[in-house]
């Protein structure tokens, strides 16, 4: 089993360009697994973890409800935002500047074949990272992602999640609000959940900005521990 994970920070990248890149990595891994099964090739399958920041964009998952987008095409344009229907689970979410988006493209055969465990460990990675900033983050029963003040009238979501998996290969991932413009969430019913607020790390810490590179370092530290992974930082060349 190959537990090495190649880490790439793609910087600011258009959502569709990044989606295509994810799909290429995903397909390459799935194709290798198919060759191994058909030809007993013994080919080692790679694992990737992409960090990225997107320009303003709304994405709707396979089971999402279009009515949860509260803008028409003209209003989207006026806000400098784009919209895509995509092939992950979950409903509608927002990505934009000030948000750390992570896309692990892992062959879970290299780790464990349990998609629920995979989601719980991604949540745990976020929870442990936020704990380093003095925040008690939690899971909310029946709702993916990571929340603060669960079970109270002040419950608010700080990290959204939505993944796709095929042949135990994952793609898509999580979006952690660090220095996010929360006004963009007013244009959707986030994840299709009414009456729940959204927050950002800088808001919770009462800071103008939080060092995003520092947050990424903490995320990777906890990811490596939870997945027992060996991380390899790659220089991005697209």
Domains along the chain?
Answer: 4-233 (3.30.930.10)
pLDDT at 191: 54
For the whole prediction, is pTM greater than 0.85? yes
- The 10s digit of each residue's pLDDT in 173-225 is 999 999 999 988 888 876 555 557 899 999 999 999 999 999 999 999 999 99
Q: Does the pLDDT value for residue 10 go beyond 80? A: yes
Q: Which of 50, 126, 191, 229 is catalytic?
A: 191
Tell me whether residue 18 is one of the annotated catalytic residues.
no
Q: What is the pLDDT confidence band of residue 41, given thresholds at 50, 70 and 90?
A: low
The residue to which tokens 């990290």 are assigned: 159
pLDDT at 237: 57
Mean pLDDT of the residues in the chain = 91
Q: What is the mean pLDDT of residues 27-54?
A: 89
**CA 223 to chain CA centroid, nearest Å:** 13
3-class secondary structure, 108: helix
**Pairing state between β 57-60 and 4-12:** unpaired
User: In sequence order, which residues have a C-beta less than 8 Å from that of residue 40 and are 6 or more positions away?
Assistant: none
Q: Does the pLDDT value for residue 52 go beyond 60? A: yes
The residue to which tokens 């987008």 are assigned: 69
pLDDT at 238: 57
**Pairing state between β 156-166 and 143-148:** antiparallel
Among residues of the chain, what percentage have pLDDT more than 70? Answer: 96
Q: Does the pLDDT value for residue 142 go beyond 90? A: no
Q: What is the pLDDT confidence band of residue 25, given thresholds at 50, 70 and 90?
A: very high
End-to-end CA separation in angstroms for the chain: 27
User: In sequence order, which residues have a C-beta less than 8 Å from that of residue 58 and are 6 or more positions away?
Assistant: 69, 71, 76, 81, 82, 83, 84, 92, 93, 94, 95, 187, 188
pLDDT at 67: 85
CA atoms within 13 A on the CB side of 80: 8
Residue 125 main-chain phi, psi, to 5 deg: -60, -45
Is 200 within 8 Å of 98 (Cβ atoms)?
yes
């Amino acid at each position: 089993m190959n537990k090495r994970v190649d880490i790439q920070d793609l910087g600011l990248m258009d959502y569709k360009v990044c989606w295509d890149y994810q799909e290429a990595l995903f397909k390459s891994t799935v194709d290798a697994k198919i060759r191994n099964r058909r030809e007993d090739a013994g080919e080692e399958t790679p694992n990737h973890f992409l960090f990225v920041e997107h320009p303003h964009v709304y994405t709707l998952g396979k089971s999402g409800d279009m009515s949860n987008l509260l803008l028409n095409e003209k209003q989207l344009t006026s806000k400098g935002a784009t919209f895509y229907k995509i092939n992950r689970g979950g409903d509608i979410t927002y990505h934009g500047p000030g948000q750390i988006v992570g896309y692990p493209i892992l062959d879970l055969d290299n780790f464990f074949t349990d998609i629920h465990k995979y989601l719980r460990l991604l949540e745990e990675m976020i929870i442990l990272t936020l704990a380093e900033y003095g925040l008690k983050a939690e899971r909310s029963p029946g709702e993916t992602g990571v929340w603060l003040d669960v079970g109270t009238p002040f419950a608010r979501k700080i990290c959204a999640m939505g993944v796709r998996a095929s042949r135990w290969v994952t793609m898509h991932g999580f979006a952690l609000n660090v220095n996010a413009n929360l006004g963009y969430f007013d244009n959707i019913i986030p994840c299709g959940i009414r009456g729940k607020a959204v927050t950002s790390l800088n808001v919770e810490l009462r800071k103008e900005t939080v060092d995003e590179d520092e947050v990424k370092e903490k995320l990777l530290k906890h990811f490596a521990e939870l997945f027992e992974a060996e991380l390899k930082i790659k220089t991005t060349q697209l």
